[in-house]
Amino acid sequence: MRVELINTGTELVLGDTVNTNAAWLGQRLAGLGLAVARQTVVPDGAVIAEVLAEAAARADIVVVTGGLGPTNDDITREVTAQLLGLELQESAAVMEHLDAYFRQRGRTVNAATRRQAMVPEGGVVLPNRQGTAPGLYLAAGLGTGRAADCHFFLLPGPPRELKPMMEQEVEPLLCRLVPAAGTRVVRYLKTTGLGESDLVDRIQADLEARADQGLELGYCLGRGDVDVRLAGPAEVVEEAAEWVRQRLGPLVFSEDRRVLEEVVVDLLRERGQWVATAESCTGGLIACRITDVSGASAVLGRGWVTYSNEAKTAELGVPADLISLHGAVSAEVVQAMAEGARQMADADHGLAVTGIAGPTGGTEEKPVGTVFVGLASRGEPVCSAKLFFPGARDRFKLLTSQAALDMLRRRLLGVSLNEI
């Protein structure tokens, strides 16, 4: 099965938006054993007709993103119907969804939005739970011409609409089209704590030797994580996964694609424990990540952003002389912050960070990128680690939050904080 991907959007060719959809869809399709043979990006407007016809002439499956919205240059729906010689008909079900969507927001459906209810005859509507524009599936056999041999999936451009639609609607349909997709297995082992090249050094050679058994190996870089992707026949993949588990130990934090904050919240909930956060350089990112997880209110009651020294003293009870003696960015202060947060919130764990995000504020002894992470847990000695994440401010914040969450994860699992 030859798959092509088309992304429409003027913002993509102008570079105003990075095309993360292409990467995400590429991964999902690869997971089903469908490697994208060609990906094409064009601006909004008439040119979509040209690339759609070309892709349909080469491919068995064409996935299109974008151009389903309410504006005049959103014409993916119309152009696909035209290519196949199909009439567009208003779908009562989609109109109902649109009506409900707008009613909930105290508005009514306008003419531009109403176009989103038009469906090429024989097309299958893919519900959009996050927005207005439904997706469409046009199975091979609909319409006329060479393009009628092709399966079309038309998906909305916004990632938060596209992703659930792909996972919940498109992938089950693809599994029926690609029977081999069922016997093939893909496993992701999410790791944190080692950079990509160190990770590769540790596992690559052994896993590559399994290529003749059909094992495909890949890595994806996430938000401070590296995922090891293993694909191929089920037995080979399971055996390789077990080897990776042994080799990497506690570096592997998730095998079901849960991100680190989900793993931490789940561990806390299982134990009925609470955490409080005290953040300087991350400015709330750790609490924000924890509260990204539904149900976080059962594990986090309060947190502090103590950016200034006064805040560390007033809110967390960090002695002012401790700060003047060791500096705000020090093991002593991060430990006092962690213990202070834990006690103030009467929580089981206090998690704290203090560091120099930059670009200013570094010294020779403590350059930009220096950070201390501290953890105080009820009945355990307070501990801390000094880390160094030079680079851009947002990356620094992300990696620091990742290290802090991982410290808490290891404590909750009872594994060493240092074992890598």
Restricting to residues 102-121, which ones interact with its own copies according to CB under 8 A?
104-105, 110, 112-113
304 binds its own copies (CB under 8 A): yes
**Segment 262 to 281, residues that bind its own copies, using CB under 8 A:** 277, 279, 281
- Of 167, 171, 170, which is closest to residue 181 (Cα–Cα)? 171
Q: Name the minimum Å distance from CB 266 to its own copies.
A: 16
Pull the structure tokens for residue 89.
């008909």
Q: Determine the Cα–Cα distance for residues 160 and 144; give it in Å rounded to an integer.
A: 33
**Segment 141 to 180, residues that bind its own copies, using CB under 8 A:** 158, 160
Pull the structure tokens for residue 9.
């959007």
Looking at beta carbons only, is 282 or 384 nearer to its own copies? 282
- Site track 356-375 with its own copies (rule: CB under 8 A), x = hit: -xxxx---------------
Stretch that binds its own copies, among 176-184, 294-302, 329-337, 408-416 (CB under 8 A): 294-302
Looking at beta carbons only, is 153 or 304 nearer to its own copies? 304
Looking at beta carbons only, is 141 or 390 nearer to its own copies? 390
Q: Name the minimum Å distance from CB 81 to its own copies.
A: 23
Residue 276, CA atoms < 13 Å, CB-side half-sphere: 25
Among residues 148, 267, 305, 331, which is the contact residue for its own copies, using CB under 8 A?
305
Looking at beta carbons only, is 140 or 220 nearer to its own copies? 220
What's the maximum distance between 2 C-alpha atoms anywhere in the chain? 81
Looking at beta carbons only, is 82 or 113 nearer to its own copies? 113
Among residues 99, 149, 201, 242, which is the contact residue for its own copies, using CB under 8 A?
201
Looking at beta carbons only, is 82 or 309 nearer to its own copies? 309
Position 158, amino acid: P
203 binds its own copies (CB under 8 A): no
Among residues 169, 225, 227, 406, which is the contact residue for its own copies, using CB under 8 A?
227
Looking at beta carbons only, is 355 or 374 nearer to its own copies? 355
Among residues 141, 145, 182, 295, which is the contact residue for its own copies, using CB under 8 A?
295
- Site track 64-93 with its own copies (rule: CB under 8 A), x = hit: -----xxxx---------------------
Sheet holding 383-388, edge to edge: 275-279, 349-355, 370-377, 383-388
Q: Name the minimum Å distance from CB 330 to its own copies.
A: 17
Q: Determine the Cα–Cα distance for residues 250 and 25; give it in Å rounded to an integer.
A: 29
Helix (H) or strand (E) holding 313: helix 309-316
- Of 159, 191, 194, 153, which is closest to residue 174 (Cα–Cα)? 153
**Segment 21 to 50, residues that bind its own copies, using CB under 8 A:** 22-30, 35-44, 47
**Segment 378 to 407, residues that bind its own copies, using CB under 8 A:** 388, 390-395, 397
Q: How many residues bind its own copies (CB under 8 A)?
A: 98
Q: What DSSP string describes 203-259?
A: HHHHHHTTGGGT-EEEEEE-SS-EEEEEEEEHHHHHHHHHHHHHHHGGGEEESSS--
3-state secondary structure of 111: helix
Q: Determine the Cα–Cα distance for residues 262 and 292; give it in Å rounded to an integer.
A: 8
First to last CA, the chain: 41
Apex 153 CA angle, 122 and 181, nearest 5:
110
Q: Determine the Cα–Cα distance for residues 391 and 6; give it in Å rounded to an integer.
A: 34
Number of Cβ within 10 Å of residue 56's Cβ equals: 23
Among residues 301, 320, 324, 413, which is the contact residue for its own copies, using CB under 8 A?
301
| Burial (Cβ within 10 Å: 0-12, 13-18, ≥19) of residue 46 | exposed
Q: Name the minimum Å distance from CB 395 to its own copies.
A: 6
Stretch that binds its own copies, among 18-26, 234-242, 318-326, 406-414 (CB under 8 A): 18-26
